[in-house]
Amino acid sequence: MQVLTQTSQCHGFNIGMNQGRVAGAGIAEHLHMHVVPRWSRDTNFITVLGNARVLPESLQESYQQIKSAWFE
């Protein structure tokens, strides 16, 4: 969350965990977490799931920024 705050200048986060096949984990013994950066006045989370583009950059650009900041 510190790296995401630094690289995206976000104002907060939506955080959720999925555990078990019925929760969308795909593997019964698997647990994973989603961390979604949020900004004041950004679009609704459902809109994001509806294939809206919130960040004005490609996923590859975001990845490179996060990767670089992670190892600083």
Annotated active-site residue in 11, 30, 32, 34: 32
Three-state DSSP class for 36?
strand
What is the rounded CA–CA span in Å between residue 41 and residue 48? 13
- Tokens standing for residue 27: 């593997």
32 carries an active-site annotation: yes
Spell out the residues 6+ positions from residue 40 whose beta carbon is closer than 8 angstroms to its own.
11
Catalogue the active-site residues.
32
